[in-house]
Structure 1
Amino acid sequence: MFNPTVARLTYRGLLGRRRALVLFALPALLILISVAVRVLVGADDSIASSVLGGFALATMVPLVGVIAGTGAIGPEIDDGSIIYLLAKPVRRPTIIVTKLLVAIAVSVVFSAVPTLIAGFILNGNSQGIAVAFTAAAAVASVTYAAIFLLLGVVTRQAVVFGLVYALIWESLIGSLVPGARTLSVQQWALALAQKIAGEGLVTSDVGLPLAVVLLVGVTLAATAFAGQRMRSLTLAGEE
């Protein structure tokens, strides 16, 4: 279920285009904000939690997921170059799983790692805040990568729909409508952060057992559906 050649091509496609600038810009902005907050305010647990929850997990992680998830396969479908890959003797579910693993790796590197660095800058991991949000960013990256990879397979407007979900549903509606938070990847990830961090510093509207079920279930369902849609893509002359 893993093809090194597909992985190498996907990796080069993600980091060899202009999208790589955004991938580097978002973590850099988080670290700059963290340095500025630490210099101006000093080490403060509640502020550290607000920065990591409000910018890192709520904004940076889903945006990186959009770039990595849709970019792993969307451009190939849009420009038609996917036909060269489909013509190779590689099982289509293998293509999906390989691209998903690359998207997850890129998302984790550009989301979880900067979150950990920012957390140590903000308060030196006091109350386990840095580790808590790093773990949340990592698990959220996996689910976001699967969701946005699926969007890249099913629609040519994957980036648009991904941004709508990341910026409007997760950041806006999720913060204003309590009922919508149950269907938020951010809230599922926050359940893990709440378990790790000190008492009262992180809150989630979803319990940890349900959050784990939803994270795993949505990731597996999105991956399976993307694989099924890949099977429906046919080349001229295929029966």
Structure 2
Amino acid sequence: MYDPTVARLTYRALLGRRRALILGALPLLLVVIAVAVRGLTGADDQTAVNVLGGFALATMVPIIGVIAGTGAIGPEIDDGSVVYLLSKPVKRPTIIFTKLIVAIGVTMAFSAVPTLIAGLILNGNGQQIAVAYTVAALVASIAYAALFLLLGTVSRHAVVFGLVYALVWEALFGSLVAGARTLSVQQWSLAVAHKVAGGDLVTSDVGLTTATVLLVAVTVLATWYAGQRLRSLTLAGEE
């Protein structure tokens, strides 16, 4: 189910100079913000929650997921080079699964690691806040990568739609409309973070069981449907 050649090509596409700079910009900004906030306010648990929840999990993680998820396959479909990949003796589910693993790995590396660093800077992992948000970033990375990989197979404007989802649905509607929070990867990952941290500082509008079921369901269904889309592209090319 995992093809090293497809993985290598995908890593090369995602971590090229231009895309790597884009991927690294938000994590660097998060660390800079953490250093500045710690210098101005000192170690404070609530401030750590505000920064990690308001910027890292609500903005940085989904945007990195958009870049990694759509970038894992979208450009190949747009420029037609996916035809050469599909002509190789590699099963279509293997291609999707491999690209998903790469997208998840890149999203985790560029989101969870800086989240942990920022959390340690902000309050030294007091109340397990740094670890809780790092786990949330890891969990969210899986769902976001699957969602945005799927989006890359169904639309030539995947980045735009992905950013609309990340910044409008997750960040705006998710904070203003109670019903929208239930259908939010951010809230699902926060439910996991709440379990890790305990207490009342890290909260979620979704229960842990519901969040876990939805995270697994979205990841599996998005991956499956992306495979179906890739299969249909193959048939269209052959016809």
Please state which band the TM-score falls in when normalised by the shorter chain.
Answer: over 0.9
What is the Cα deviation at residue 234 of structure 1?
Answer: 2.5
Q: What's the counterpart of residue 196 of structure 2?
A: 196
Please provide the CA RMSD for this pair: 1.1
Q: What's the counterpart of residue 69 of structure 1?
A: 69
Q: What's the counterpart of residue 91 of structure 1?
A: 91
Following the alignment from structure 1 to structure 2, what is the Cα–Cα distance between the partners of residues 17 and 107? 16
What is the Cα deviation at residue 53 of structure 1?
Answer: 0.2
Following the alignment from structure 1 to structure 2, what is the Cα–Cα distance between the partners of residues 50 and 197? 15
Q: What's the counterpart of residue 183 of structure 1?
A: 183
Contact 1:143-1:185 at 8 Å conserved across structures: yes
Q: What's the counterpart of residue 224 of structure 1?
A: 224
TM-score (norm 1): 0.98
Deviates more, 1:17-26 or 1:201-210: 17-26
Flag as ranges the 4+ runs of structure 1 deviating above 4 A. none
Following the alignment from structure 2 to structure 1, what is the Cα–Cα distance between the partners of residues 110 and 151? 20
Alignment of 1:19 with 2:39, yes or no, is no
Following the alignment from structure 2 to structure 1, what is the Cα–Cα distance between the partners of residues 94 and 20? 25
Alignment of 1:37 with 2:37, yes or no, is yes
Residue identity matched to 2:190: L
Residue identity matched to 1:224: W
Residue identity matched to 2:26: L
Q: What's the counterpart of residue 3 of structure 1?
A: 3
What is the Cα deviation at residue 156 of structure 1?
Answer: 0.5
Following the alignment from structure 2 to structure 1, what is the Cα–Cα distance between the partners of residues 178 and 18? 37
Cα separation, partners in 2 of 1:113 and 1:231, compared to 1, 3 Å: same
Q: 1:162-173, aligned counterparts within 5 Å?
A: 162-173=162-173
What SS does the aligned partner of 2:142 have? helix
Identity %: 76
What SS does the aligned partner of 1:213 have? helix
Residue identity matched to 2:206: V
Residue identity matched to 2:188: W
Structure 2 alignment gaps of length 5 or more: none
Deviates more, 1:189-198 or 1:67-76: 189-198
Following the alignment from structure 1 to structure 2, what is the Cα–Cα distance between the partners of residues 134 and 180? 23
- The total of aligned residue pairs comes to 239
TM-score (norm 2): 0.98
